[in-house]
Every structure is written in C-alpha cells, then in structure tokens.
Amino acid sequence: MQVLASNIANADTPNYKARDIDFKSALTKALSTPEQPVSAVTQVAQGGSSVLPTLLYRTPYQSSIDGNTVEIDVEQSKFIDTSIRYQFSLEQAVHEYKSVSDLFKNLKG
C-alpha cells in the first residue's frame, strides 16, 4: 500500500516512474525465509538477507508527455482493491481469534 500511495502522491511529478511489486514472488520469498528474531528492516540495515520485496517499474497503458508513468485511475483502483483485501484479512483473523478464544473459554469452564 505504501508503494501505491507513493505512486498516487507523485502522479504530477515529471519523469516519475510508477513502482510496483510482484506480490506472488515476494510472498514466496517471505515464506521461504526462516523466521529470525531480527526484523527485516534491521537485516537490511546490517547488510543481511532481506524479505522485503524488490521494487519494479510498472509499464503504463499510455505514456504521458512529461515522462510520468503514473496512471491515477489504475493506482486508485489497485489501492482500493488492496484496502478491501487487507480489511477482509483482518476481519478473518479477528474471527479466527474469537473462535479459538471461545473454544478455550468453553474448555476451562
């Protein structure tokens, strides 16, 4: 969402190139990296391996005269889609937590 927000914020910046990530490869990389007590940001700062995704450049459907590749309609659409999916994931996690919590309460009582 930060990448999308950055693209939207730079929609009028001449020669700004819209950025994107390949979510599928980023997820695969994150899942294949063993959990470590040090955060990914600290690992990058210390020169260690990172689970942070590699930023790519988005290919525009239509180029602008000033060299900016941000297409505000595309960015806003992707931002809304990502927000909805994130909210759904949070609601699912809360539902699962409540289910497990209720199960333990019933076992104790």
Supply angle C-alpha 46, 48, 51, rounded to 5.
120
Residue 82, number of CB atoms within 10 A of its CB: 14
Over residues 4-22, the mean pLDDT reads 95
In this structure, what token pair is assigned to residue 35?
A: 């959990």
Report yes or no: 19 and 6 within 8 Å, Cβ to Cβ: yes
- Answering whether pTM is above 0.95, one says no
Over residues 68-94, the mean pLDDT reads 95
Locate the domains of the chain by residue range. 2-108
Over residues 61-90, the mean pLDDT reads 94
